[in-house]
Amino acid sequence: MIDALEVQGSVAPEFAAVKDAFVQNFKDGLEVGASLNITVEGEQVVDLWAGHADAEKTKPWNRDTLVNVWSTTKGITSIAVAILVDRGLLRYRDTVAQHWPDFAQGGKSDVTVGQLLSHQAGLCGMRQPTVVEDFYDWDKTCRRLAAMEPFWKLGEGSGYHAITFGFLAGELIRRIDGRTPGTFIKEEIAEPLGADFHVGLPENLENRVSLVIKAPTPPQLTGEQPPDYVIATMANPPIDSEFPHDRGWRAAEIPSANGHGTAHALSRIYAAMANGGSIDGVKIISKDTIKRATTEQCNGTDRILGMPSRWGAGFALNNGGLYGPNDSAFGHSGMGGSMGYADPSKRVSVGYTMNQMQAEIRGDSRTLAINKALYECL
């Protein structure tokens, strides 16, 4: 099977080692289908794809294959919020309730936008029993979150808002701009940049979708009895890697977890972020606002994931080499392995998508190898 692997696309000669790392992931049996796209100073230097778009390996993976990128979606949603900041419609120091009055219920009147986006609000999961279909009902989910009492007091740390982040950030977008978050992302980010990325997948694109493939060993909650907020986040409902197999999931707008896109789309969007907010004459945001959006909001052990985390205003800030060696790098990764990030210090952007999920919570071995090769080439 390895001998039959056909890697398509292009790579600049000085980045041949990146292609080697990409191919090695297939040789090691870690991939079924995957794409990788990298730009440096706005120029594409790596554009690779290989493998299959189905577990049975009957359908080829193409450059335009779309796949659910899970929490990598959060980075794109955070760019959308930052655009509102850039336009003077929102400030990270504003309270959420200034723009969403019902949010003040349950003792949340002092929560700022910056704290909300950096997972400090204590709304990591739902208190009442929830099924995945509830996330297909935007208004119902937002009403529940607005009425909720947080799981911890403001100032008691941050804990990853796995699914709820998208509704919290997305409702701010909707209330300020009037458009749904998926429409805002489409019209203000994806279409201007020519990026094939969707939150709320149109039905006519279904034929290009690869379903994700469950990790061989799914991640497990640790400890005899996890705290109630961990259970609420990870098991109410249990986050199932087969959610994206359902048309209802793909059609809904879940701006934390159901973005569908290509590696090129992620790299293209982050190329703008790596180059002061503009690429090829298209400006989506200012350099100053990028700096504000990536200013550290909190730094410590995550209450849900139990690992060190640094958060800007929705962006994962580089921590422990997750996105190469430079502190300036920021972006977001998704459950199972997908990744998009920018490194403004090197004017680098990276997008990586795949269908074979792996179980690592802290740094996927495939992306770590790709990033290592990349920075050795720079």
Q: How many CB atoms lie within 10 A of CB 139?
A: 9
Q: Are 67 and 353 in contact (CB under 8 A)?
A: yes
Specify the pLDDT at position 363. 84
pLDDT at 267 over 80: yes
pLDDT (mean) for 159-167: 98
Specify the pLDDT at position 2. 40
Supply the residues annotated as catalytic: 71
Which tokens in the block code for residue 353? 């998508």
Specify the pLDDT at position 341. 98
Q: Are 82 and 285 in contact (CB under 8 A)?
A: yes
Specify the pLDDT at position 361. 74
Which tokens in the block code for residue 74? 């959060």
pLDDT at 1 over 50: no
Specify the pLDDT at position 11. 98
Specify the pLDDT at position 63. 98
Q: What distances in angstroms separate CA 125 from CA 159, 169, 180, 218, one per listed residue?
A: 10, 14, 22, 20
In sequence order, the β-bridge partners of residue 50 are: 34
pLDDT (mean) for 139-155: 98
pLDDT at 254 over 70: yes
Task: For 125-141, write each residue's pLDDT tens digit.
Answer: 999 999 999 999 999 99
CA distance 86 to 176: 13
| pLDDT above 70 coverage of the chain, percent | 97
Q: Band the pLDDT of 276: cuts 50, 70, 90.
A: very high
Q: Band the pLDDT of 222: cuts 50, 70, 90.
A: low
CA distance 329 to 187: 26
pLDDT (mean) for 347-370: 94
Which tokens in the block code for residue 42? 């706005």
Q: Band the pLDDT of 221: cuts 50, 70, 90.
A: low
Task: For 75-114, write each residue's pLDDT tens digit.
Answer: 999 999 999 999 999 999 999 999 999 999 999 999 999 9
- What is the pTM assigned to this prediction? 0.97
Task: For 297-336, write each residue's pLDDT tens digit.
Answer: 999 999 999 999 999 999 999 998 999 999 999 999 999 9
Strand intervals (E) in the chain: 8-11, 33-40, 43-51, 66-68, 197-199, 209-210, 259-261, 278-279, 282-283, 298-301, 308-311, 316-317, 330-333, 339-343, 348-354
What integer best gives the mean pLDDT of the chain?
Answer: 96
Q: Domains in the chain and their CATH numbers?
A: 65-370 (3.40.710.10)
CA distance 122 to 59: 43
CA distance 73 to 312: 15
